[in-house]
Amino acid sequence: MKLSDALKLIREIPDFPKQGILFQDITPLLSDAQAFNTVITHMSNSSSGCDYVAGMEARGFIFAASIANQSNRGFIPIRKAGKLPGQTHSEKYGLEYGQDTLEVHKDACGLNSRVLIVDDVLATGGTACAAIRLIEKTGASVLKLIFLLEIEELKGRDIILQQFPRVDIESLKKV
């Protein structure tokens, strides 16, 4: 299956979760084994040069764990606060109505490791910037970010590049 055909399975749901939002529903893509495999294979090609694949809770886990498995690399879960046992690094980030916190294990990866960060959607860039800062706290570096979707009007790519100009960013579909 071509990547473009797989991405066509993402359906738009108007006015969800509230009026004026055009929601991008990825569940039809996830439920089609061939389409999902096509997307994971494409994303896995972006993992060359990386030692680990990190994914942000929750939907980022779906893609990142699959990429890590397919590319024979370790998976690093980046979780909401209080979800990881053991010692963690924490990073606060802004939301539309307040703040949230992400965490990663302090020993998630080795010093000087190279990491690919994966998530389903690039919107405002706040979560991605927090994830980059977390990986850097472990002593590793982020080589690349890859997203299934990018909502261009929210300018998340610009926000990330202002703070981390050397990080490569890839999106499979821009809306």
Quote the radius of gyration of the chain (alpha carbons, Å).
Answer: 16
166 is catalytic: no
Task: Choose, from 59, 114, 136, 170, the residue flagged as catalytic.
Answer: 59
Side-chain-side CA neighbours of 27 within 13 Å: the count stands at 4
Q: Are the C-beta atoms of 84 and 104 separated by less than 8 Å? A: yes
Residue 146 near residue 53, CB atoms below 8 Å:
no
Q: How far is the C-alpha of 56 from the C-alpha of 74, rounded, in Å?
A: 14
Structure tokens at 45: 């090609």
How many Cβ atoms from other residues are within 10 Å of residue 87's Cβ? 9
Sign, CA torsion 79/173/156/169: positive
96 included as an active-site residue = yes
Residues with catalytic roles: 59, 96
